[in-house]
């Protein structure tokens, strides 16, 4: 099975792509993108799974557990500032209504229903790396934030730069040295006709796949290292969703390339 999943035309409820634990052959991460026309609604319930609704583009209202949040989002593209998101405990009925044409990512992972519905604004930008390894990171749900399983972050990698680099992995349940986290990368490009490259590989090379990703593609990372490169002229955005048996992000760089950050 390919690790890449491509977007398709919206189905009856607006879904343009979906990764489930069953379709991915893993246990934790779920990811869905819904594309809504102005006035269109999307109602759902993630049974046994907590969710984070990330407004990718456009403006929406979200209603859940007696709360109603109006005028969420507003980005024309995912490159236009911070995301607005809504956290939903497992088993929460919710409804999204598009005030303009909009795209919403639904990020899910196992949960018991603990916690409360809340609004998340990820305004703070963290600059990671240096030189052509520089990228711009906005945490939506970090391991310091309240949630049961989910970790969600969005990253912008300028054209000509590398990201998730040096290659790193988080596929061993060996706290505190490393944690096991499944992961999805949802890719967008500016301009959108561009492409980028992602490699997913293990030490043993039983997984070793290099993928040319285009606008709207998802790459699944069940295990292994997973660097990303953005060609000159095309900025790359990706939304990461991670989850595993322990809600901490502790990674290990590929020893062959760890020297890059130790200079």
Q: What is the pLDDT of residues 141-193, one digit of tens each?
A: 999 999 999 999 999 999 999 999 999 999 999 999 999 999 999 999 999 99
Helix (H) or strand (E) holding 31: strand 30-36
Burial 204-216 (b: 16+ CB within 10 A, else e): eeebeeebebbbb
| pLDDT reported for residue 186 | 98
- Contact criterion met (CB below 8 Å) for 1 and 211: no
Backbone phi, psi, residue 133, to 5°:
-105, 10
| pLDDT reported for residue 243 | 98
DSSP 91-109: T-EEEEEESSSEEEEEEEE
The CATH H-level (homologous superfamily) assignment of domain 4-261 is: Jelly Rolls (2.60.120.10)
Residue 263's pLDDT band (boundaries 50, 70, 90)?
confident
Residue 262's pLDDT band (boundaries 50, 70, 90)?
confident
Residue 36's pLDDT band (boundaries 50, 70, 90)?
very high
Q: Structure tokens of 38?
A: 């102005």
pLDDT tens sequence across 244-259: 999 999 999 999 999 9
pTM of the predicted protein model: 0.97
pLDDT tens sequence across 89-100: 999 999 999 999
Distance CA(260)–CA(26), nearest Å, equals: 32
Count other C-beta atoms under 10 Å from residue 37's C-beta. Answer: 12
| pLDDT reported for residue 1 | 66
pLDDT tens sequence across 67-117: 999 999 999 999 999 999 999 999 999 999 999 999 999 999 999 999 999
pLDDT tens sequence across 199-214: 999 999 999 999 999 9
Burial of 82 (0-12, 13-18, 19+ CB in 10 A): middle
């Amino acid at each position: 099975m390919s690790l890449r999943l491509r977007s398709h035309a919206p189905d009856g409820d607006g879904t343009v792509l979906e990764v489930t634990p069953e379709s991915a052959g893993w246990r934790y991460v779920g990811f869905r993108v819904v594309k809504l026309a102005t006035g269109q609604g999307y109602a759902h319930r993630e049974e046994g799974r907590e969710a984070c609704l990330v407004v990718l583009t456009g403006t929406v209202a979200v209603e859940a557990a007696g709360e109603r949040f109006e005028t969420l989002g507003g980005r024309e593209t995912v490159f236009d500032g911070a995301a607005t998101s809504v956290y939903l405990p497992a088993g929460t009925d919710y409804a999204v209504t598009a005030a303009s044409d909009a795209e919403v990512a639904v990020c899910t992972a196992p949960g018991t229903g603990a916690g409360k519905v809340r609004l998340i604004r990820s305004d703070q930008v963290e600059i990671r790396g240096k030189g052509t390894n520089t990228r711009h990171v906005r945490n939506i749900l970090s391991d310091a934030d309240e949630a049961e399983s989910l970790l969600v972050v969005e990253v912008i990698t300028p054209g000509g730069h590398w990201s998730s680099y040096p290659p790193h992995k988080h596929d061993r349940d060996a706290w505190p040295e490393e944690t096991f986290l499944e992961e999805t990368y949802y890719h967008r490009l500016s301009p959108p006709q561009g492409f980028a490259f992602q490699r997913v590989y293990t030490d043993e090379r039983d997984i070793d796949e290099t993928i040319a990703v285009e606008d709207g593609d998802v790459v699944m990372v069940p295990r292994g290292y997973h660097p990303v490169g953005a060609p000159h002229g095309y900025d790359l955005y990706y939304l990461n969703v991670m989850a595993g048996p322990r809600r901490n992000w502790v990674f290990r760089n590929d020893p062959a390339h760890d020297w890059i950050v130790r200079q």
